[in-house]
Structure 1
Amino acid sequence: MTDPARGKHRKGRIAQVSPSADPAGRQHHQHRGPWDSEDAPRDGRLRLDLGSVQLPVPPNAKLVCEPDPTGPLRAVHAILPEGRLTVSAFAAPRTGGLWTELIEELAGQLHAEGATIRRDRGEWGRELVARNGDVVARVVAVEGPRWLLRGVGTGPAEHALALHGMLREMIRGTVVARSEDPLPVRSLLPLEVPEDVPEIFRDTLFQSLPTRPRQITSQDGPVIPMMLPQQGESGTSPGRS
Protein backbone atom coordinates (compact mmCIF):
# COMPACT_ATOMS: atom_id res chain seq x y z
CA MET A 1 0.00 0.00 0.00
CA THR A 2 1.39 3.35 -0.99
CA ASP A 3 1.91 5.73 1.89
CA PRO A 4 1.89 9.41 0.90
CA ALA A 5 3.17 10.29 4.36
CA ARG A 6 6.52 8.75 3.48
CA GLY A 7 7.62 10.96 0.56
CA LYS A 8 10.88 12.79 1.19
CA HIS A 9 11.86 13.09 4.80
CA ARG A 10 13.86 15.81 6.45
CA LYS A 11 17.32 14.68 7.39
CA GLY A 12 17.20 13.62 11.00
CA ARG A 13 19.60 16.19 12.37
CA ILE A 14 18.53 17.92 15.54
CA ALA A 15 19.56 21.47 16.25
CA GLN A 16 21.44 22.32 19.42
CA VAL A 17 19.13 23.89 21.98
CA SER A 18 19.50 25.35 25.40
CA PRO A 19 19.01 22.83 28.24
CA SER A 20 16.60 25.30 29.83
CA ALA A 21 14.23 24.81 26.89
CA ASP A 22 13.58 21.26 28.10
CA PRO A 23 13.16 19.89 24.56
CA ALA A 24 11.79 16.48 25.61
CA GLY A 25 14.86 14.42 24.86
CA ARG A 26 15.77 15.81 21.42
CA GLN A 27 19.49 15.23 22.07
CA HIS A 28 19.09 11.94 23.89
CA HIS A 29 16.91 10.04 21.43
CA GLN A 30 19.44 10.34 18.60
CA HIS A 31 21.48 7.60 20.25
CA ARG A 32 18.89 5.41 22.00
CA GLY A 33 15.59 5.97 20.20
CA PRO A 34 12.92 6.70 19.29
CA TRP A 35 14.13 7.22 15.75
CA ASP A 36 13.42 9.53 12.88
CA SER A 37 12.90 7.51 9.70
CA GLU A 38 16.12 8.93 8.25
CA ASP A 39 18.15 7.60 11.18
CA ALA A 40 16.35 4.34 11.98
CA PRO A 41 18.73 1.50 12.81
CA ARG A 42 18.81 -1.66 10.73
CA ASP A 43 18.34 -3.83 13.78
CA GLY A 44 16.04 -6.48 12.30
CA ARG A 45 13.40 -5.69 14.90
CA LEU A 46 9.80 -6.50 13.95
CA ARG A 47 7.69 -3.33 13.83
CA LEU A 48 4.08 -2.80 12.83
CA ASP A 49 4.06 -0.16 10.08
CA LEU A 50 1.19 2.27 10.63
CA GLY A 51 2.45 4.82 8.12
CA SER A 52 3.67 7.72 10.23
CA VAL A 53 4.82 5.44 13.07
CA GLN A 54 6.39 2.00 13.09
CA LEU A 55 5.74 0.30 16.43
CA PRO A 56 7.53 -2.62 18.10
CA VAL A 57 4.48 -4.36 19.57
CA PRO A 58 4.82 -6.78 22.53
CA PRO A 59 4.01 -10.30 21.27
CA ASN A 60 1.34 -10.87 23.95
CA ALA A 61 -0.53 -7.63 23.14
CA LYS A 62 -3.89 -7.21 21.46
CA LEU A 63 -4.18 -4.23 19.13
CA VAL A 64 -7.31 -2.10 19.08
CA CYS A 65 -8.04 0.91 16.84
CA GLU A 66 -9.65 4.07 18.18
CA PRO A 67 -11.53 5.72 15.31
CA ASP A 68 -12.78 9.28 15.32
CA PRO A 69 -16.52 9.73 14.70
CA THR A 70 -15.63 11.85 11.66
CA GLY A 71 -13.57 9.03 10.12
CA PRO A 72 -9.84 9.49 10.79
CA LEU A 73 -8.01 7.09 13.05
CA ARG A 74 -7.16 8.59 16.43
CA ALA A 75 -4.85 5.90 17.76
CA VAL A 76 -3.90 2.23 17.91
CA HIS A 77 -3.77 0.85 21.45
CA ALA A 78 -1.76 -2.16 22.62
CA ILE A 79 -3.80 -3.97 25.28
CA LEU A 80 -1.82 -6.08 27.75
CA PRO A 81 -2.71 -7.90 30.98
CA GLU A 82 -0.97 -5.06 32.84
CA GLY A 83 -2.88 -2.25 31.07
CA ARG A 84 -2.89 -0.23 27.88
CA LEU A 85 -0.06 1.35 25.88
CA THR A 86 -0.58 4.09 23.30
CA VAL A 87 2.10 5.81 21.23
CA SER A 88 1.07 8.76 19.03
CA ALA A 89 3.03 11.15 16.81
CA PHE A 90 2.16 14.81 16.27
CA ALA A 91 3.38 17.62 14.04
CA ALA A 92 5.72 19.91 15.97
CA PRO A 93 7.64 23.14 15.23
CA ARG A 94 11.21 22.97 13.99
CA THR A 95 12.38 24.83 17.09
CA GLY A 96 10.94 22.25 19.50
CA GLY A 97 9.49 23.11 22.88
CA LEU A 98 5.98 21.78 22.19
CA TRP A 99 6.02 19.33 25.11
CA THR A 100 6.68 22.16 27.54
CA GLU A 101 3.27 23.58 26.58
CA LEU A 102 1.40 20.29 26.32
CA ILE A 103 2.44 18.82 29.65
CA GLU A 104 0.85 21.71 31.53
CA GLU A 105 -2.32 21.53 29.43
CA LEU A 106 -2.61 17.79 30.08
CA ALA A 107 -1.99 18.30 33.79
CA GLY A 108 -4.81 20.85 33.96
CA GLN A 109 -7.20 18.65 32.01
CA LEU A 110 -6.54 15.52 34.05
CA HIS A 111 -6.76 17.43 37.33
CA ALA A 112 -10.18 18.73 36.22
CA GLU A 113 -11.22 15.11 35.62
CA GLY A 114 -10.44 14.30 39.25
CA ALA A 115 -6.93 12.84 38.90
CA THR A 116 -4.06 13.44 41.29
CA ILE A 117 -1.12 14.84 39.31
CA ARG A 118 2.60 14.33 39.82
CA ARG A 119 5.36 15.69 37.60
CA ASP A 120 8.36 13.45 37.18
CA ARG A 121 11.60 13.25 35.21
CA GLY A 122 12.68 10.30 33.08
CA GLU A 123 15.23 9.49 30.43
CA TRP A 124 13.63 11.92 27.93
CA GLY A 125 12.94 14.72 30.37
CA ARG A 126 9.66 15.82 31.95
CA GLU A 127 6.90 13.24 32.46
CA LEU A 128 3.42 13.37 33.88
CA VAL A 129 1.89 10.83 36.25
CA ALA A 130 -1.86 10.93 36.88
CA ARG A 131 -3.76 8.75 39.33
CA ASN A 132 -7.54 8.36 39.55
CA GLY A 133 -8.57 5.80 42.13
CA ASP A 134 -6.59 2.63 41.38
CA VAL A 135 -5.80 3.69 37.81
CA VAL A 136 -2.39 5.21 37.05
CA ALA A 137 -1.33 6.82 33.76
CA ARG A 138 2.19 7.90 32.86
CA VAL A 139 2.68 10.27 29.92
CA VAL A 140 6.10 10.70 28.32
CA ALA A 141 7.15 12.58 25.21
CA VAL A 142 10.15 12.88 22.91
CA GLU A 143 10.71 15.60 20.31
CA GLY A 144 12.34 14.91 16.97
CA PRO A 145 12.70 16.85 13.70
CA ARG A 146 9.24 18.43 13.24
CA TRP A 147 7.52 15.72 15.27
CA LEU A 148 6.64 14.92 18.86
CA LEU A 149 6.14 11.33 19.96
CA ARG A 150 3.87 10.89 22.97
CA GLY A 151 3.49 7.64 24.89
CA VAL A 152 0.82 6.84 27.47
CA GLY A 153 0.73 3.81 29.75
CA THR A 154 -2.56 3.36 31.65
CA GLY A 155 -3.46 0.55 34.03
CA PRO A 156 -3.96 -0.59 37.63
CA ALA A 157 -1.55 0.85 40.18
CA GLU A 158 -0.32 -2.63 41.11
CA HIS A 159 1.03 -3.14 37.57
CA ALA A 160 2.25 0.44 37.00
CA LEU A 161 5.97 -0.28 37.33
CA ALA A 162 5.93 -3.15 34.84
CA LEU A 163 3.59 -1.37 32.42
CA HIS A 164 5.62 1.80 32.36
CA GLY A 165 8.77 -0.20 31.69
CA MET A 166 7.00 -1.71 28.65
CA LEU A 167 6.00 1.79 27.56
CA ARG A 168 9.59 3.02 27.61
CA GLU A 169 10.74 -0.03 25.67
CA MET A 170 8.10 0.55 23.01
CA ILE A 171 9.03 4.22 22.68
CA ARG A 172 12.75 3.45 22.38
CA GLY A 173 12.06 1.15 19.44
CA THR A 174 9.53 3.35 17.62
CA VAL A 175 10.35 4.92 14.24
CA VAL A 176 8.57 8.14 13.18
CA ALA A 177 8.07 8.89 9.47
CA ARG A 178 7.22 12.60 9.20
CA SER A 179 6.66 13.81 5.64
CA GLU A 180 7.64 17.24 4.31
CA ASP A 181 3.97 18.10 3.88
CA PRO A 182 2.90 21.10 5.99
CA LEU A 183 0.65 20.19 8.91
CA PRO A 184 -0.73 22.35 11.71
CA VAL A 185 1.34 22.10 14.86
CA ARG A 186 -0.27 19.61 17.28
CA SER A 187 -2.08 17.69 14.56
CA LEU A 188 -1.79 13.93 14.51
CA LEU A 189 0.49 12.51 11.86
CA PRO A 190 -1.57 10.40 9.42
CA LEU A 191 -2.16 6.78 10.42
CA GLU A 192 -2.98 3.78 8.27
CA VAL A 193 -3.63 0.14 9.05
CA PRO A 194 -1.96 -2.13 6.49
CA GLU A 195 -3.78 -5.12 5.04
CA ASP A 196 -0.85 -7.44 5.82
CA VAL A 197 -1.02 -7.12 9.61
CA PRO A 198 0.61 -10.12 11.34
CA GLU A 199 -2.00 -12.75 12.15
CA ILE A 200 -1.48 -12.50 15.92
CA PHE A 201 -2.74 -8.89 15.84
CA ARG A 202 -5.26 -9.12 13.00
CA ASP A 203 -8.58 -10.07 14.61
CA THR A 204 -8.86 -7.42 17.32
CA LEU A 205 -7.31 -4.73 15.12
CA PHE A 206 -9.60 -5.23 12.13
CA GLN A 207 -12.70 -5.69 14.27
CA SER A 208 -12.15 -2.26 15.83
CA LEU A 209 -11.77 -0.46 12.50
CA PRO A 210 -14.74 1.71 11.44
CA THR A 211 -14.35 0.36 7.90
CA ARG A 212 -12.10 -2.07 6.08
CA PRO A 213 -8.35 -1.27 6.28
CA ARG A 214 -7.75 1.96 4.40
CA GLN A 215 -5.42 4.90 4.07
CA ILE A 216 -5.98 7.76 6.49
CA THR A 217 -4.99 10.82 4.51
CA SER A 218 -5.24 13.69 6.98
CA GLN A 219 -5.90 14.63 10.59
CA ASP A 220 -5.95 18.27 11.62
CA GLY A 221 -6.82 19.95 14.87
CA PRO A 222 -5.61 20.07 18.45
CA VAL A 223 -3.99 17.28 20.40
CA ILE A 224 -6.57 14.66 21.35
CA PRO A 225 -7.40 14.79 25.08
CA MET A 226 -6.23 11.87 27.18
CA MET A 227 -9.07 10.39 29.22
CA LEU A 228 -8.33 8.07 32.11
CA PRO A 229 -10.37 4.84 32.16
CA GLN A 230 -13.02 4.54 34.83
CA GLN A 231 -12.21 2.38 37.83
CA GLY A 232 -12.67 -1.28 37.05
CA GLU A 233 -12.05 -0.75 33.32
CA SER A 234 -8.31 -0.21 33.36
CA GLY A 235 -6.50 -1.62 30.38
CA THR A 236 -9.66 -2.13 28.36
CA SER A 237 -11.35 1.26 28.27
CA PRO A 238 -11.68 2.86 24.84
CA GLY A 239 -10.89 6.24 26.39
CA ARG A 240 -8.86 8.69 24.42
CA SER A 241 -5.11 8.88 24.43
Structure 2
Amino acid sequence: MVATEPARGRHRKGRIAQVPGPGEPAGRRHHQHHGPWDGENAPRDGRLRLDLGSVQLPVPPDATLIAEPDPSGPLRAVHVMVPEGRLTVSAFAAPRTGGLWAELVEELGAQLHNEGATIRRDRGEWGRELVARNGDVVARVVAVEGPRWLLRGVGTGPAQHALTLHTMLRDMVRGTVVVRSPDPLPVRSLLPLEVPDDVPEPFRETLYQTLPTRPRQIAGQDGPVIPMMLPQKADSGTSPGRS
Protein backbone atom coordinates (compact mmCIF):
# COMPACT_ATOMS: atom_id res chain seq x y z
CA MET A 1 0.00 0.00 0.00
CA VAL A 2 1.00 3.64 -0.18
CA ALA A 3 1.97 4.84 3.27
CA THR A 4 3.14 8.05 4.87
CA GLU A 5 5.24 7.13 7.88
CA PRO A 6 4.85 8.82 11.29
CA ALA A 7 7.77 10.82 12.55
CA ARG A 8 9.92 10.05 15.54
CA GLY A 9 12.94 12.05 14.47
CA ARG A 10 13.09 15.56 13.03
CA HIS A 11 15.35 17.25 10.54
CA ARG A 12 17.81 19.49 12.35
CA LYS A 13 18.85 22.68 10.62
CA GLY A 14 22.35 24.02 10.67
CA ARG A 15 24.06 20.64 10.88
CA ILE A 16 27.01 20.15 8.53
CA ALA A 17 27.06 16.78 6.78
CA GLN A 18 30.26 14.79 7.28
CA VAL A 19 31.34 12.39 4.56
CA PRO A 20 32.59 9.12 6.06
CA GLY A 21 36.14 7.96 5.48
CA PRO A 22 37.14 4.46 4.34
CA GLY A 23 35.80 1.79 6.69
CA GLU A 24 33.23 4.08 8.33
CA PRO A 25 29.53 3.31 7.96
CA ALA A 26 28.47 4.90 4.65
CA GLY A 27 26.51 8.08 5.30
CA ARG A 28 25.27 7.01 8.73
CA ARG A 29 25.57 10.37 10.48
CA HIS A 30 24.19 12.17 7.45
CA HIS A 31 21.15 9.97 6.80
CA GLN A 32 19.87 10.31 10.36
CA HIS A 33 18.97 13.93 9.62
CA HIS A 34 18.53 14.05 5.83
CA GLY A 35 17.42 10.53 4.80
CA PRO A 36 17.09 7.74 3.95
CA TRP A 37 15.18 6.96 7.10
CA ASP A 38 15.01 4.07 9.52
CA GLY A 39 11.46 2.86 10.10
CA GLU A 40 11.62 3.93 13.75
CA ASN A 41 12.53 7.50 12.82
CA ALA A 42 10.53 8.10 9.64
CA PRO A 43 9.61 11.73 8.97
CA ARG A 44 6.05 13.05 8.94
CA ASP A 45 6.61 14.82 5.63
CA GLY A 46 3.35 14.02 3.83
CA ARG A 47 5.24 12.19 1.09
CA LEU A 48 3.50 9.16 -0.42
CA ARG A 49 5.57 5.99 -0.42
CA LEU A 50 4.92 2.57 -1.94
CA ASP A 51 5.13 0.04 0.89
CA LEU A 52 7.16 -2.99 -0.27
CA GLY A 53 7.75 -4.41 3.18
CA SER A 54 11.40 -3.77 3.93
CA VAL A 55 11.48 -0.53 1.93
CA GLN A 56 8.94 2.22 1.43
CA LEU A 57 9.74 3.99 -1.85
CA PRO A 58 8.76 7.46 -3.02
CA VAL A 59 7.89 6.58 -6.64
CA PRO A 60 7.81 9.33 -9.33
CA PRO A 61 4.30 9.74 -10.82
CA ASP A 62 5.51 9.09 -14.39
CA ALA A 63 7.20 5.79 -13.48
CA THR A 64 6.26 2.18 -14.15
CA LEU A 65 7.22 -0.67 -11.83
CA ILE A 66 8.77 -3.97 -12.91
CA ALA A 67 9.31 -6.86 -10.50
CA GLU A 68 12.36 -9.10 -10.76
CA PRO A 69 11.69 -12.50 -9.15
CA ASP A 70 14.39 -14.81 -7.90
CA PRO A 71 14.37 -18.30 -9.47
CA SER A 72 13.56 -19.68 -6.01
CA GLY A 73 10.42 -17.56 -5.78
CA PRO A 74 11.02 -14.42 -3.65
CA LEU A 75 11.45 -11.01 -5.23
CA ARG A 76 14.97 -9.83 -5.93
CA ALA A 77 13.98 -6.27 -6.72
CA VAL A 78 11.28 -3.89 -7.85
CA HIS A 79 12.68 -1.64 -10.58
CA VAL A 80 11.34 1.86 -11.10
CA MET A 81 11.31 2.64 -14.82
CA VAL A 82 11.36 6.31 -15.82
CA PRO A 83 11.92 7.90 -19.25
CA GLU A 84 15.59 8.50 -18.38
CA GLY A 85 16.34 4.90 -17.36
CA ARG A 86 15.94 2.51 -14.43
CA LEU A 87 16.12 3.13 -10.67
CA THR A 88 16.50 0.30 -8.16
CA VAL A 89 16.65 0.69 -4.38
CA SER A 90 17.29 -2.41 -2.23
CA ALA A 91 17.98 -2.99 1.46
CA PHE A 92 20.32 -5.63 2.91
CA ALA A 93 21.17 -6.90 6.38
CA ALA A 94 24.38 -5.32 7.66
CA PRO A 95 26.58 -5.51 10.78
CA ARG A 96 25.69 -3.30 13.71
CA THR A 97 29.15 -1.71 13.49
CA GLY A 98 28.78 -0.83 9.80
CA GLY A 99 31.59 -0.92 7.25
CA LEU A 100 29.84 -3.28 4.82
CA TRP A 101 29.77 -0.81 1.94
CA ALA A 102 33.56 -0.35 2.13
CA GLU A 103 33.84 -4.06 1.25
CA LEU A 104 31.06 -4.16 -1.32
CA VAL A 105 32.15 -1.15 -3.35
CA GLU A 106 35.53 -2.75 -4.00
CA GLU A 107 34.03 -6.16 -4.81
CA LEU A 108 31.49 -4.66 -7.20
CA GLY A 109 34.09 -2.46 -8.88
CA ALA A 110 36.39 -5.43 -9.50
CA GLN A 111 33.52 -7.56 -10.83
CA LEU A 112 32.30 -4.91 -13.27
CA HIS A 113 35.86 -4.16 -14.41
CA ASN A 114 36.40 -7.85 -15.15
CA GLU A 115 33.21 -7.84 -17.20
CA GLY A 116 34.52 -5.02 -19.39
CA ALA A 117 32.94 -1.94 -17.85
CA THR A 118 34.87 1.29 -17.34
CA ILE A 119 34.90 2.12 -13.62
CA ARG A 120 35.06 5.47 -11.87
CA ARG A 121 34.91 6.04 -8.11
CA ASP A 122 33.24 9.19 -6.80
CA ARG A 123 32.40 10.70 -3.44
CA GLY A 124 28.87 11.95 -2.96
CA GLU A 125 26.25 12.78 -0.39
CA TRP A 126 26.69 9.55 1.58
CA GLY A 127 30.35 8.87 0.83
CA ARG A 128 31.82 6.48 -1.73
CA GLU A 129 29.97 5.90 -5.00
CA LEU A 130 30.68 3.76 -8.02
CA VAL A 131 30.10 4.72 -11.67
CA ALA A 132 30.29 2.01 -14.33
CA ARG A 133 30.01 2.58 -18.07
CA ASN A 134 29.63 0.07 -20.87
CA GLY A 135 29.13 1.61 -24.29
CA ASP A 136 26.51 4.34 -24.03
CA VAL A 137 24.97 3.01 -20.80
CA VAL A 138 26.02 4.37 -17.41
CA ALA A 139 25.20 2.97 -13.97
CA ARG A 140 25.76 4.82 -10.70
CA VAL A 141 25.69 2.92 -7.40
CA VAL A 142 25.25 4.68 -4.05
CA ALA A 143 24.82 3.21 -0.58
CA VAL A 144 23.87 4.27 2.94
CA GLU A 145 24.32 2.27 6.15
CA GLY A 146 21.69 2.50 8.86
CA PRO A 147 21.06 0.51 12.06
CA ARG A 148 21.71 -3.09 10.93
CA TRP A 149 20.82 -2.34 7.32
CA LEU A 150 22.48 -1.12 4.14
CA LEU A 151 20.42 0.65 1.50
CA ARG A 152 21.80 0.49 -2.03
CA GLY A 153 20.55 2.59 -4.92
CA VAL A 154 21.35 1.98 -8.59
CA GLY A 155 20.52 4.27 -11.50
CA THR A 156 21.11 2.83 -15.00
CA GLY A 157 20.43 4.49 -18.33
CA PRO A 158 21.81 6.22 -21.44
CA ALA A 159 24.79 8.49 -20.83
CA GLN A 160 22.89 11.46 -22.26
CA HIS A 161 20.37 11.25 -19.40
CA ALA A 162 22.85 10.31 -16.66
CA LEU A 163 22.81 13.65 -14.81
CA THR A 164 19.01 13.78 -14.62
CA LEU A 165 18.68 10.09 -13.74
CA HIS A 166 21.27 10.22 -10.98
CA THR A 167 19.61 13.29 -9.46
CA MET A 168 16.39 11.28 -9.38
CA LEU A 169 18.26 8.35 -7.81
CA ARG A 170 19.56 10.50 -4.96
CA ASP A 171 16.10 11.94 -4.35
CA MET A 172 14.56 8.46 -4.21
CA VAL A 173 17.24 7.12 -1.86
CA ARG A 174 16.95 10.22 0.35
CA GLY A 175 13.19 9.73 0.68
CA THR A 176 13.21 5.95 1.25
CA VAL A 177 12.20 4.44 4.60
CA VAL A 178 13.86 1.12 5.58
CA VAL A 179 11.86 -1.24 7.81
CA ARG A 180 14.28 -3.77 9.31
CA SER A 181 13.00 -7.21 10.31
CA PRO A 182 13.08 -7.95 14.05
CA ASP A 183 14.75 -11.28 13.28
CA PRO A 184 18.51 -11.94 13.00
CA LEU A 185 19.50 -12.24 9.35
CA PRO A 186 22.71 -13.30 7.57
CA VAL A 187 24.85 -10.28 6.77
CA ARG A 188 24.48 -9.30 3.07
CA SER A 189 21.08 -10.98 2.76
CA LEU A 190 18.35 -9.04 0.96
CA LEU A 191 15.65 -7.74 3.28
CA PRO A 192 12.37 -9.34 2.13
CA LEU A 193 10.27 -7.52 -0.45
CA GLU A 194 6.50 -7.86 -0.66
CA VAL A 195 4.04 -6.44 -3.16
CA PRO A 196 0.92 -5.07 -1.43
CA ASP A 197 -2.60 -5.84 -2.61
CA ASP A 198 -3.52 -2.19 -3.05
CA VAL A 199 -0.86 -0.94 -5.47
CA PRO A 200 -1.93 2.49 -6.82
CA GLU A 201 -3.53 2.37 -10.27
CA PRO A 202 -0.70 4.17 -12.17
CA PHE A 203 1.78 1.45 -11.15
CA ARG A 204 -0.50 -1.58 -10.95
CA GLU A 205 -0.62 -2.92 -14.49
CA THR A 206 3.10 -3.22 -15.26
CA LEU A 207 3.95 -4.44 -11.77
CA TYR A 208 1.32 -7.17 -11.75
CA GLN A 209 2.30 -8.25 -15.26
CA THR A 210 5.84 -8.95 -14.01
CA LEU A 211 4.74 -11.00 -11.00
CA PRO A 212 4.72 -14.41 -12.75
CA THR A 213 3.18 -17.59 -11.41
CA ARG A 214 6.43 -19.32 -12.34
CA PRO A 215 9.97 -17.92 -12.00
CA ARG A 216 11.29 -16.04 -15.01
CA GLN A 217 13.96 -13.43 -15.56
CA ILE A 218 13.39 -9.85 -16.61
CA ALA A 219 15.33 -9.10 -19.78
CA GLY A 220 18.15 -6.67 -19.02
CA GLN A 221 19.23 -3.76 -21.17
CA ASP A 222 22.72 -3.51 -22.61
CA GLY A 223 25.25 -1.98 -20.26
CA PRO A 224 26.72 -2.65 -16.81
CA VAL A 225 24.84 -5.41 -15.01
CA ILE A 226 24.56 -4.71 -11.28
CA PRO A 227 23.72 -7.94 -9.39
CA MET A 228 20.62 -7.58 -7.26
CA MET A 229 21.82 -10.16 -4.73
CA LEU A 230 25.06 -9.74 -2.81
CA PRO A 231 27.70 -12.50 -2.75
CA GLN A 232 27.70 -14.30 0.59
CA LYS A 233 30.79 -14.96 2.68
CA ALA A 234 31.23 -17.98 4.92
CA ASP A 235 32.38 -15.78 7.80
CA SER A 236 29.91 -12.93 7.31
CA GLY A 237 27.91 -13.82 10.44
CA THR A 238 24.43 -12.50 11.14
CA SER A 239 22.91 -9.10 11.51
CA PRO A 240 20.96 -9.03 14.79
CA GLY A 241 17.34 -7.92 14.80
CA ARG A 242 15.88 -5.21 16.95
CA SER A 243 15.66 -5.80 20.66
Please classify the TM superposition score into its range, dividing by the shorter chain length.
Answer: 0.7 to 0.9
Q: Does 1:180 align with 2:182?
A: yes
Residue in 2 aligned with 1:67?
69
Q: Does 1:150 align with 2:142?
A: no
Residue in 2 aligned with 1:230?
222
Does structure 2 conserve the Cα–Cα contact (< 8 Å) formed by 1:128 and 1:138? Answer: yes
Shift of 1:21: 2.7
Shift of 1:23: 1.5
- Cα distance change on mapping 1:228 and 1:116 into 2, 3 Å: farther
Residue in 2 aligned with 1:107?
109
Matched residue of 1:87: which SS?
A: strand
Does structure 1 conserve the Cα–Cα contact (< 8 Å) formed by 2:24 and 2:98? Answer: no
Structure 1 counterpart of 2:207, from 181, 205, 208: 205
Shift of 1:240: 4.5
Shift of 1:113: 1.2
Superposition pairs of residues 1-241 of structure 1, within 5 angstroms:
19-211=21-213, 229-230=221-222, 240-241=227-228
Structure 1: tracts of 5 or more residues without a match: 2-10, 12-17, 213-226
Structure 2: tracts of 5 or more residues without a match: 2-8, 10-19, 229-243
Shift of 1:20: 4.8
Does structure 2 conserve the Cα–Cα contact (< 8 Å) formed by 1:141 and 1:150? Answer: yes
Does structure 1 conserve the Cα–Cα contact (< 8 Å) formed by 2:69 and 2:75? Answer: yes
Shift of 1:210: 2.1
Give CA-to-partner distance per residue, 1:213-240, whole Å, 9 cap, x none: xxxxxxxxxxxxxx98315xx9xx9x74
Give CA-to-partner distance per residue, 1:119-160, whole Å, 9 cap, x none: 000010000000000000000000000000000000000000
Taking structure 2 as the reference length, what is the TM-score of the superposition? 0.81
* Sequence identity (%): 78
Does structure 1 conserve the Cα–Cα contact (< 8 Å) formed by 2:21 and 2:127? Answer: no
Matched residue of 1:38: which SS?
A: helix
Does structure 2 conserve the Cα–Cα contact (< 8 Å) formed by 1:34 and 1:173? Answer: yes
Tell me the distance in 1 between the aligned counterparts of 2:163 and 2:220.
Answer: 17
Letter aligned with residue 131 of structure 2 = V
Letter aligned with residue 222 of structure 2 = Q
Does structure 2 conserve the Cα–Cα contact (< 8 Å) formed by 1:67 and 1:74? Answer: yes
Tell me the distance in 2 between the aligned counterparts of 1:107 and 1:75.
Answer: 21
Q: Provide the aligned length of Structure 1 versus Structure 2.
A: 207
Does structure 1 conserve the Cα–Cα contact (< 8 Å) formed by 2:22 and 2:102? Answer: no
Taking structure 1 as the reference length, what is the TM-score of the superposition? 0.82
Residue in 2 aligned with 1:223?
none
Give CA-to-partner distance per residue, 1:62-104, whole Å, 9 cap, x none: 0000001110100000011100000000000000000000000
Letter aligned with residue 43 of structure 1 = D
Instruction: Could you list the structure 1 runs, at least 4 aligned residues long, displaced by more than 2 angstroms after superposition.
Output: 18-22
Tell me the distance in 1 between the aligned counterparts of 2:63 and 2:25.
Answer: 31
Tell me the distance in 1 between the aligned counterparts of 2:23 and 2:73.
Answer: 36
The root-mean-square deviation of aligned C-alpha atoms, in Å, is: 2.1
Matched residue of 2:172: which SS?
A: helix
Tell me the distance in 1 between the aligned counterparts of 2:44 and 2:81.
Answer: 27
Matched residue of 2:28: which SS?
A: coil
Give CA-to-partner distance per residue, 1:166-209, whole Å, 9 cap, x none: 00000000000002201000000011000100000000000001
Letter aligned with residue 189 of structure 1 = L
- Cα distance change on mapping 1:143 and 1:43 into 2, 3 Å: same
Does structure 2 conserve the Cα–Cα contact (< 8 Å) formed by 1:22 and 1:125? Answer: no
